[in-house]
Amino acid sequence: MNAIASTHITRPVTLVEAINLALAHEMQADETVVVLGEDVALNGGVFRATVDLRKQFGLKRVMDTPLAETLIAGMAVGMSVQGLKPVAEIQFMGFIYATMEQVISHAARMRNRTRGRLHCPLVLRAPFGGGIHAPEHHSESTEALFAHIPGIRVVIPSSPARAYGLLLASIRNPDPVIFLEPKRIYRAANQTVENAGQALPLDTCFTLQEGQHITLVSWGAMIQETLEAAQQLAEEGIECEVIDVATISPLDRETIICSVAKTGHCVIVHEAARECGVGAEIAATLAEHALTDLRAPVKRVTGYDTIMPYFKQESLYLPTTEKIIKAVKETLDYD
């Protein structure tokens, strides 16, 4: 895989290649953008998301760090308030918890703390989610932890094009962004991406498919199973509206509420544990603002409230297309 820094090149790429394209494009366009993290320079990152960036932009802008996540986040905060736009990589979400002191106590508060005199334009990237037979601490889906923190955005792409456009928008955003990359679909499919520097909007859901019978809400890798379920249900005459949340926080409530006002039914799909997950926030939002439109209780298809199991059992933990179809039929049968 070679990074493409030239503009207006269109070709099929995987999600991880799209990440690399976005980084290369923005580093070429903006000399204040820097990349840091463990193995991101000489080795090009554990998943090769930063491959060749060091060759193009040099060690002053693509920096290897020690295996010290607190240091990586702290450096990113310091760089950002001094005029740089750091994009820091945490190798797996299971190691991101050491950064939370820097993220919660400093990055998220910088604008408020300084009454707008300083802001904190940093991006903290991390692969997340299960499905690749990884060991402990490599398969977490704890996006709800960060979604609960005011002052930061949590962005999750679901396709190569979405990854390219949302990462550009995240780097250009003046405030901190947690950018979580669903590694299960890093190389699952190719999609044509125009490397022209076009960002996608943050804080907006994307309606991937329109339908009239039920709204399916999901994000990240689970979009694949959700779309597959919608396709199989369509063969039975059930039209699903599929919404990709994309920005977990702040949540685009209006798009979800408007969809449910049309369909009257909703199933939320995520692989994170159920209790206090983002799905619970969406369900509460619908209870507050769309109760009279609902014709059945909101149903969730989620992971379990337990530690993500080792690879031999992770398929039992992750939501499946069959579970989504079952939830849809139970919801529609409630009428």
Catalytic center residues: 138
Q: What is the DSSP letter of 307?
A: P
Helix or strand run (H / E) with residue 258: helix 253-263
195 bridge partner residues: 9
Tokens of 209: 């498919």
269 forms beta bridges with 301
Structure tokens at 147: 């979604």
Q: Which residues contact 146 (CB under 8 A, 6 or more apart)?
A: 103, 152, 154, 178, 248, 249
Give the chain's count of helices (H) and strands (E): 12, 14
- Taking CB atoms within 8 Å and a gap of at least 24, the contacts of 229-233 are 229/321, 229/324, 229/325, 229/328, 232/321, 232/325, 233/325, 233/328
- Whole-angstrom Cα distance, residue 31 to residue 33? 5
List strand residue ranges (DSSP E) for 168-317, in order: 177-182, 191-195, 206-209, 214-218, 240-244, 247-249, 266-273, 299-303
Helical pair 278-289 and 253-263, crossing angle rounded to 10 deg: 60
Length of the chain equals 335
CA atoms within 13 A on the CB side of 313: 9
How far apart are the C-alpha atoms of 292 and 280, rounded to whole Å? 19
Taking the C-alpha atoms of residue 304 and residue 81, their distance in angstroms, rounded to an integer, is 39
